[in-house]
Chain A
């Protein structure tokens, strides 16, 4: 999911940077004081998640873990993922600095979308929250695969071919992430439900997100 430097057209790069800037600004405004530690732990999890590889035929794909970030953080996932991707680009040479905006929006936008779609399910007790976790984990990866294919298509690679390649390549990741996120969210729903539904309600309650 890390698009390399020099693949995308300047238009796509700028659009990605603009969307990421907007998303991060919203996320920063919504970030409440007592959620900062949670956000940083999830950011660190996402940062190391891409080092966990699933062997797949001759190659391997790595975990993404954007679903769990989205389900727990909502818009706050944007700045968290931006920071993690920036560090990956600088320290691991994954992706690159010029494509940082596009890569961030590709990963974070599906996560935020999952958060809004699954919020009603998340608030419905541990069982439902676990189902929402599976859908969020798998759905966020699927969304990111589609967004990646779209960014490539807008530059020069054909959408359908690329989409098929990227989505099929990430099918196992979708399932694995779904299971991982299902357990994580189910665990949170049992132990600290306020992290899930409470966060959603709080966010919903004040659009500006200043409660501190």
Chain B
């Protein structure tokens, strides 16, 4: 009876579908028009409130900019122009304290330029067609800015979805595989120790 109970407990331990992980930190970050948008959280879905997000030059290692996330672990901050001086992309680092740190390297083409610079957003797949000048005076740059903003706000949830799909928790096959590795290793150690024992005799 007791053995059955112990076995049941062990099965529950092994088959528990660990839905969340408090010990893997996730960082989503992108830079658009000189603005940094970042989200720091744990893979159990809880936000890392008050995490420190810093922007680092990946070549020199110099810290260029640092900001504290809000209670939802979200950062929306305009970056100073000097951040964009280098051309090796930027390293965004999230530090949630207590040894939880995560980094994401944004390549140069995703960083773009500082705010006044009218760099095209890379996220927009189709180029925005130039409006034909039919006598009506349209401020094309303002219009472009508006369109980009609209597209960005539409795309943001999708991007979040795509990025969070890459950060999945452990899958069943990982767990079973790990246990298999441990048992295999135990067999190997038995083999070695058994040989040592036989040699002694």
Contacts and interface: CB of A to CB of B under 8 A. Distances in A.
Interface of A: 1-8, 31-33, 36-37, 39-40, 43-45, 47-53, 58-62, 83-84, 87-88, 91-95, 148, 151-152, 157, 162, 165-166, 169, 187, 190-191, 210, 212
A37 B103 CA distance: 39
A44 B183 CA distance: 8
Contacts of B159: none
Interface of B: 2-3, 6, 10, 13-14, 16, 18-25, 42, 44, 46-47, 49, 93, 95, 97-103, 169-170, 174-175, 177-179, 181-183, 185-186, 189-190, 193-194, 196-197, 200
A91 B99 contact: no
Contact of B100 (A4, A58, A212): A4
A49 B13 contact: yes
A40 B185 contact: yes
Contacts of A33: 190, 193-194, 197
Contact of B99 (A4, A190, A212): A4
Nearest to B15: A48
Given A33-B194, A165-B97, A191-B2, A48 B14 contact: yes
Nearest to A40: B186
A190 B25 CA distance: 42
B16 A52 contact: yes
A37 B13 CA distance: 18
B3 A51 contact: no
Contacts of A61: 22
Given A7-B95, A94-B21, 15 more contacts: A4-B101, A40-B182, A40-B185, A44-B183, A45-B10, A48-B16, A48-B18, A50-B23, A58-B49, A60-B20, A83-B182, A87-B178, A91-B177, A151-B99, A169-B98
A32 B190 CA distance: 9
A53 B197 contact: no
A157 B19 contact: no
B194 to A, nearest CB: 6
A60 B46 contact: yes
Contacts of B99: 2-4, 7-8, 148, 151-152, 157
A212 B196 contact: yes
A87 B170 CA distance: 11
11 contacts: A4-B25, A7-B99, A7-B101, A48-B175, A60-B22, A83-B182, A84-B182, A87-B182, A91-B170, A148-B99, A152-B98
B190 to A, nearest CB: 5
Contacts of A165: 97-98
Nearest to B180: A44
Nearest to B12: A52
Nearest to B194: A33
A94 B197 contact: no
Contacts of A3: 99
A147 to B, nearest CB: 11
A157 B97 contact: yes
B100 to A, nearest CB: 6
